[in-house]
Amino acid sequence: MKLPAPRPNLQALRPYQVAISRNSIYNLSANEACLGPSLSAVSAAAAAANSLDTYPDGSASALRNAIGKRYDLDPSRIICGAGSEELISLIVQAYAAPGDEVLFTQFGFIKYELAARAFGAIPIRAPESDFTADVDALIASVTPRTRIVFLANPNNPTGTFLHEAQVRRLRAGLRSDILLVIDAAYAEFVATDTYDNGLSLARSTGNTLALRTFSKIHGLAGLRCGWGFGAQELVDTLHKVRGAFNVGSVSQAAAAAAIADIDHEARARDHNIAELAWLTDRFQSAGIAFIPSVCNFVVVRFNDAETCQRALEALAGQGVLAMPLNGYGISEAIRITIGTRDANEAVLRGLMGVRHEST
Ligand SMILES: Cc1ncc(COP(=O)(O)O)c(C=O)c1O
């Protein structure tokens, strides 16, 4: 019997990998917010749960207004999605035809590759330098078929970033018909003056989109909500391909409250800055090799894949679930989310016993 066959480009596609939990006490595998969401977001979600029988506002107007107010953006140039990962898919669907090239960096967020493959586009990875995006390598990887460049800034899983001037140089070095997507999922954690979240380029150019998420610092990963901002024409095009009611009413209400709670966001950022420094200082003293990060996670490196596996097991022994990076072709490193002090102490206990690559 002949069965339905999926499109050929889906055959080689492996679904997004998540770390497997072994009864962990501390799940530090998904870069979630260790302080949780704002209480006002939780209250807004509970209130919205009284109207589950009606469709959400398909245009997410209250949420777009709240985002616009917070960042001084024109709400009509904002689009909301069921997580920023939905927006990544919509961008590829709208701007890359089968056979077109979608460019990103060697260790760039894996969703770019999955989205490109899902729509029959060709994913191209440009080499990085020191686990950091390399502007020249990206520009050199452009071909006549390049349609989209995704830059995760800062990047997951490496935790590294490009300075504002480097991002501007990238934009200037790309053809004007190439869409540059600056995915700033971790922007709120970055405490460096020379970093820019991409909103200014998205405001001033017709070919740059900025993406953000409520899953990270806002602690709403379970609600699946993200947003994008860019030129009216770009945003209007994405509206054509999104689902009519793509963001649920509970998500919209909670996200609008979260983005207004600046104090909670500041607490989460301060906690991360302090705990990231605490943990990496101890890594340094113990000779544990890591990639310096500006995010709410850090990559720890080992001599080889076997030592890395032992580290994952040692962490599991302390109740910690971390993320192996095999999916990125890095079999000798793991990504660990910055947690509460208890969780970070458990990470340290786990790693202390394992032999490490010297820094
Ligand atoms: C760089 C980057 N972009 C986008 C996303 C997607 O986030 P979400 O779909 O939860 O908004 C993630 C999630 O880990 C990420 O790391």
Q: Which residues contact 71 (CB under 8 A, 6 or more apart)?
A: 199, 229
Q: Are residues 73 and 221 in the same domain?
A: yes
Q: Are residues 191 and 317 in the same domain?
A: no
Q: Are residues 183 and 226 in the same domain?
A: yes
Ligand 1 atom 3: residue of nearest CA: 185
What is the enclosing helix (H) or strand (E) of 150? strand 146-152
- CA dist 104 and 180 (Å) reads 10
Identify the pLDDT of residue 355.
58
Average pLDDT in the 207-227 region?
98
- Over residues 301-336, the pLDDT tens digits come to 999 999 999 999 999 999 999 999 999 999 999 999
Among the three residues 260, 282, 310, which one is the final residue of a domain in this structure?
A: 260
Q: Are residues 55 and 198 in the same domain?
A: yes
- Over residues 234-280, the pLDDT tens digits come to 999 999 999 999 999 999 999 999 999 999 999 999 999 999 999 99
Identify the pLDDT of residue 22.
64
Q: Which long-range contacts (CB under 8 A, 24 or more apart) does 201-206 make?
A: 201/167, 201/168, 201/171, 202/229, 202/230, 202/231, 203/73, 203/229, 205/171, 205/231, 206/231, 206/233, 206/234
**C-alpha distances in Å from residue 267, one per residue of 37, 217, 336:** 11, 10, 20
Number of domain units in the chain: 2
Q: Are residues 168 and 205 in the same domain?
A: yes
CATH of the domain at 323: 3.90.1150.10
Is residue 7 in some structural domain?
Answer: no
What is the enclosing helix (H) or strand (E) of 147? strand 146-152
Identify the pLDDT of residue 16.
81
Q: Are residues 106 and 215 in the same domain?
A: yes
Average pLDDT in the 292-302 region?
98
Work out the percent of the chain whose per-residue pLDDT is above 90.
92
Among the three residues 260, 279, 305, which one is the final residue of a domain in this structure?
A: 260
Q: Which residues contact 162 (CB under 8 A, 6 or more apart)?
A: 132, 133, 135, 151, 153, 170
For a ligand 1 pocket test, name from 155, 197, 216 the mutation site with the most ligand atoms within 8 angstroms of its C-beta.
216
CATH of the domain at 150: 3.40.640.10
Show the domain range for 240.
39-260
If one compares 51 and 12, the residue with the highest pLDDT of the two is 51
**Residue 202 phi, psi (nearest 5):** -65, -30
pLDDT interval class at 79 (50, 70, 90): very high
- CA dist 356 and 290 (Å) reads 10
Q: Are residues 128 and 256 in the same domain?
A: yes
Q: Are residues 44 and 172 in the same domain?
A: yes
Q: Are residues 296 and 176 in the same domain?
A: no
Is residue 232 in some structural domain?
Answer: yes
Is residue 1 in some structural domain?
Answer: no
Is residue 86 in some structural domain?
Answer: yes
If one compares 107 and 13, the residue with the highest pLDDT of the two is 107
Q: Describe the strand order of the beta sheet including 297-301 as a list of residue ranges.
A: 290-291, 297-301, 333-337, 323-324
Q: Which residues contact 6 (CB under 8 A, 6 or more apart)?
A: none
Identify the pLDDT of residue 356.
47
Q: Is the dihedral of CA 186, 188, 193, 196 positive or negative?
A: positive
Is residue 8 in some structural domain?
Answer: no
pLDDT at 358 over 60: no
**How big, in percent rounded to 5, are the helix, strand and coil portions of the chain?**
45, 15, 40
286 Cα: distance to centroid of ligand 1 (angstroms): 31
Which residues are registered as beta bridge partners of 212? 227
Is residue 160 in some structural domain?
Answer: yes
pLDDT at 9 over 70: yes
**Residue 331 phi, psi (nearest 5):** -90, -5
Cβ atoms of residues 279 and 345 within 8 Å: no
- Over residues 84-118, the pLDDT tens digits come to 999 999 999 999 999 999 999 999 999 999 999 99
258 Cα: distance to centroid of ligand 1 (angstroms): 17
Q: Which residues contact 200 (CB under 8 A, 6 or more apart)?
A: none
Q: Are residues 283 and 180 in the same domain?
A: no
Among the three residues 235, 260, 285, which one is the final residue of a domain in this structure?
A: 260
pLDDT interval class at 130 (50, 70, 90): very high
Average pLDDT in the 216-226 region?
98
Is residue 340 in some structural domain?
Answer: yes
Is residue 338 in some structural domain?
Answer: yes
Identify the pLDDT of residue 359.
42
- Over residues 36-63, the pLDDT tens digits come to 999 999 999 999 999 999 999 999 999 9
Exposed/middle/buried for residue 53 (C-beta within 10 Å: 0-12, 13-18, 19+): exposed
pLDDT at 20 over 80: no
Q: Are residues 210 and 317 in the same domain?
A: no
Q: Are residues 68 and 194 in the same domain?
A: yes
For a ligand 1 pocket test, name from 215, 225, 259, 323 the mutation site with the most ligand atoms within 8 angstroms of its C-beta.
215
* Ligand 1 close to Cβ of residue 221 (< 6 A): yes
